[in-house]
Structure 1
Amino acid sequence: MKLMPVALAATLSIAAPAQAATIVDTGTPTQTYTGSALDSDQSLAGRFSLTSATMLTDIQGYIRSFRSSGILTIAINRGGNLPGSVLYSGTVAATQGTSFQGLSNLNWMLDAGDYWVSFANSGSGMMSRGAPNPLSVAAYWKPGQGWNSIYDPSRSIGVRISGVPAAVPEPATWAMMLLGFGMVGAAVRRRRPVVATVRVG
C-alpha cells in the first residue's frame, strides 16, 4: 500500500485555503452621471468593519474616469472617526468610462475591527452616488485640509471587497493534520533501503 501519496493528499486537503467570499457590496450606484469628484485634488473613502481576521483578495470601486491615463490608487486605512494611517495600498491604470475597477489577487491580512477603504485618481473622474447599501461613513481628502467627513447616504460610493476568513483550525483538525504528517513520516521510513553488512574473514 502506498501510504505517502494518500497521507500527503489528506494532510494538504485539511490545510487547503478557503474560497474568497464577498465582505462588502454596496451595490451599483444609481446616479451614474453625478457623484463626488475623484481626481488629483480630492480622494474619497468609506468605512467598513470586519468581525473576524480576514485576508482581503479583491477591492473594487465604482468609478467614472474621464481620462484613461489616470492612475487609480486604492488603500486600506486604520479605522476611527476619519481614515488613519495607511496599512496597505496598490495602484492600477484607471479605465475610461464608468465601471467597477480596482485591485485583484491581493493578500492583505487584517484583524477584526473598523477600517477605511480609500480611492484616489491621478487623472480626472468621480465616484457615482446612490449605492443601494451604502457604507456607514464617507469622507473626502483635499491637499492641505486632510480627511473630512461628508456622511450622506445619497452621496455614498460604490465598493466591492472580497476576502478569505483567517480561520483557526479546531483541535480535531489539528489532530488530523498531525496524524497525516505521522503517516507521511512512517511512509518515508518504510521506503528507506536496507543495507546488508557482510563480514569477510
Structure 2
Amino acid sequence: MLRLNISAALTAVALTVAAPAAAAQLIVTSYDMPNGNGQASGGSFNYWDLGYTGLGNTTTDGAALTGGTGDLTDGYAETQAWNAVENGAGTGPYVGWLASAVLNPVVTFHFAGSPTITAIDITLDNSGIGGVFAPAAILIDGVVTPFTAPAFVGTVSFTGLSLSGGTHTIEFQQSPSSWAFISEVSFFGTAVPEPATWGLMIVGFGIVGATARRRRMAVAS
C-alpha cells in the first residue's frame, strides 16, 4: 500500500510537470520599432505610438522606440477606420507608417522566458481611405505568412504556428506610397513555467520522498 501511495503521488507530480498547458494570451514584455509617421511626413494627423513606455521620442516620425510597450499591445483592437479615430495630437489607437517614409517597418516583440506561440492576431485598417491599405505581405520571423485582409477594418488571425523563443519579429511590407495602420497585435500559446513554479515542483518531490522515508522507518520500528 505504501509503495502504491508513493507511486501515485510521484505520478501526479510528474503529470503536472509534463501536461501541456492550455493555450492562452501571452504577455509581451516590450517591443521595439520605428515610431509611426504623421503630419511631418504628409499625413492628415499624427499616427504615433504616443503612449509608448520605453526609450525614444514618441512625437518624432520614425524615431527608434525600444524597451517599452504601447498602442500595439494595450488590449484595444479598433473597429473603426483611421479617419474616425485619429487626431493631430497623435493619441489615436493606430500606429501608421507611410511607405515612402518608413518602408516595411519591423516590430520586434519580447517575452519573458521562451513561450511557444501558436497563434497571432493583428488588427489593421484596410479601408482604402487616404491610401490606407492592409500590408502587401506580413513576415513573421522573416517568413512570408499568407493571410486574407479584412474587407474594411478587422483582425487577421494566423493560426497553426509553432514559434519558440523569447523574441519574435513581425514585418509589414507595404505597397509604394501606401499607409499601413496597425491597432493591436496579440499572441497566444503556452508559456514555459517560471523558475518559481519549477521550485515548487521540486519541493513537492522532496516532500513525497521525505514522507516515504518516515513511513519506512515507522514500519521498521
Q: TM-score range by the shorter chain?
A: 0.3 to 0.5
Higher relative contact order (CA 8 A, sep 6+): 1
Output the TM-score relative to the length of structure 2. 0.43
Output the TM-score relative to the length of structure 1. 0.46
